[in-house]
Structure 1
């Protein structure tokens, strides 16, 4: 499979076999109280329990184990990331003994930056995400250097799809699957696994209104790049544009929702409270889309939600809890 081809479900299955020694099978969580309030069954795939605290490790290990299998590992790895991909690439490269440099924006979460360096990566901070993207492109031109992109790569997509593969292998068929959208890698992999294992399920995505490049792209039928760095609680979805590979999958979604900042904070608070786990705003954002979708249903449904990660620093927590939303339970009208 070339770096520009579209992966299919066979690639997800192959990735699952390769990465198995390196990842943690993550649990499914449920809240009986939430289910009773909503009148539907909501199952959460808790990738916050993944090694490095997010689903991103699946994609990074997919890329490197594929290269190892073909005896094509590089001498050096570079990557660009706002945090979770940085940690994943740092950890994956360390497992295989390859030096790695990560380029990121100054706005990177402090906890994600610290973890990235702990896993052995050199961290280069840039003024913005766009500057980091330029810097990693330049670094990737060095001899025997591999650039592992955060989402727009067939093996990244295949690896991310293993989270849904794992979840649906546990749940059986469901009525809907929802995942957050940054660059679209997780959502693309989610679509591949869902179509194969639960073909009747609708697959929907969620994105911050404040970082709605994917929604604009879908509306215009072409990839739209945000002109300014987005300001959103969901920093894992603050990408300036989706990729040409992921966009092909996003166009196949059954629905796509934009989520306001207040709703992101609301669902982050409520999921932390109901599930008793540490979830990122990007993860929790999906529940706003789920609630909107459930409002339109006329019979009880079973929904799978991919909770993408759980890496949050103190500053982000203060922003999330600036207003207390727990007096207002999530009961559908």
Structure 2
């Protein structure tokens, strides 16, 4: 298996320069005071298409352009942000694109995908969409851009952490959410390349804990059915062989319940004044638990993966007002901790 390396992340950064935004860093003095540590946020919610996914998709096509092998058409399967990313990236090269997705796709992400010129085909379940895209990819001149299990995709996603570390300087830990594991794998590569001693820590919904189960068993596990979670960007049925290899090298991994996902979505939106997806905010449960475990003040970098939220999701997030309770740090309540190393 040909795995991406830190050099691939560096090359990706050169390829996508000027085609994606260099997103800013944010922090909250109040949050830092509450947690007793400095928490820096990489705001990929301000990326074009509203998510980090654009980096990987653009890197794939930019690499093909570099090699003179651009396809006649592009296909992809996605729960939302990757769909938008591939549609936008393909439009940069005037390549027709078809996206295959489950009918549960966020309406706002579906609308955005179509607005970038993609033909969107919907199926009853994610496995059905995955099977359909696999068949479509067999047509001559067709390139299938996977959501995460691809060398160029992972390298492209790693450029977000690379940028953040270059700007922030030394950090003690890097946190990222885990769906299929592309952002987390890329962040691992960038962090190990830039700051070998920094911890790399992941988080996923307890309701979609295929990665945690895979880390426990040592083999890739698949969710038995569609995941019911606010963090729709992390509802992937399983990780891939490329990303799983990196997940096994992580320093720590956490499962986060739905209350904590809603809680931290509200608080981060309030403290940072940013429109942040539940998948992004979920990672803060892991940060809070890490903060308790480290008595000496440290610096953490948190990858905010995106900011595309449907009205339905927003209503669910705000069914209860958690802003009445400032962040209380208690590892047992914050998340279910999975130690694998």
TM band (smaller chain)? over 0.9
Residues 36, 291 of structure 2: 8 Å contact kept? no
Distance 2:199 2:261 in 1: 22
Other structure's SS at 1:206 match: strand
* Partner of residue 213 from structure 1, selected from 210, 213, 227: 210
Q: State the match for 1:68 in structure 2.
A: 65
Distance 1:258 1:50 in 2: 26
**Offset, 1:294:** 1.1
* Partner of residue 85 from structure 2, selected from 76, 81, 88: 88
**Offset, 1:331:** 3.5
Q: State the match for 1:332 in structure 2.
A: 329
Distance 2:169 2:145 in 1: 33
**Offset, 1:126:** 0.6
* Partner of residue 101 from structure 1, selected from 98, 105, 123: 98
| Equivalent residues in 2 for 1:1-333, closer than 5 Å | 4-332=1-329
Other structure's SS at 1:59 match: helix
Flag structure 1 segments of 5+ consecutive residues without an equivalent.
none
Residues 179, 190 of structure 1: 8 Å contact kept? yes
TM-score when scaled to structure 2? 0.96
Other structure's SS at 1:256 match: strand
Residues 172, 198 of structure 1: 8 Å contact kept? no
Residues 149, 180 of structure 2: 8 Å contact kept? yes
**Offset, 1:111:** 0.7
> How large is the Cα RMSD of the aligned pairs?
0.7
Distance 1:320 1:286 in 2: 16
**Offset, 1:332:** 2.7
Other structure's SS at 2:323 match: coil
Deviations 1:220-246 (A, max 9, x none): 000001111111000000000000010
Other structure's SS at 1:239 match: coil
Deviations 1:96-147 (A, max 9, x none): 0000000001111111000000000000011011111011001111111110
**Offset, 1:295:** 1.1
Distance 2:16 2:114 in 1: 23
Deviations 1:121-177 (A, max 9, x none): 000011011111011001111111110000000000000000000000001110100
Distance 1:168 1:239 in 2: 27
Flag structure 2 segments of 5+ consecutive residues without an equivalent.
331-341
Distance 2:5 2:223 in 1: 29
The total of aligned residue pairs comes to 330
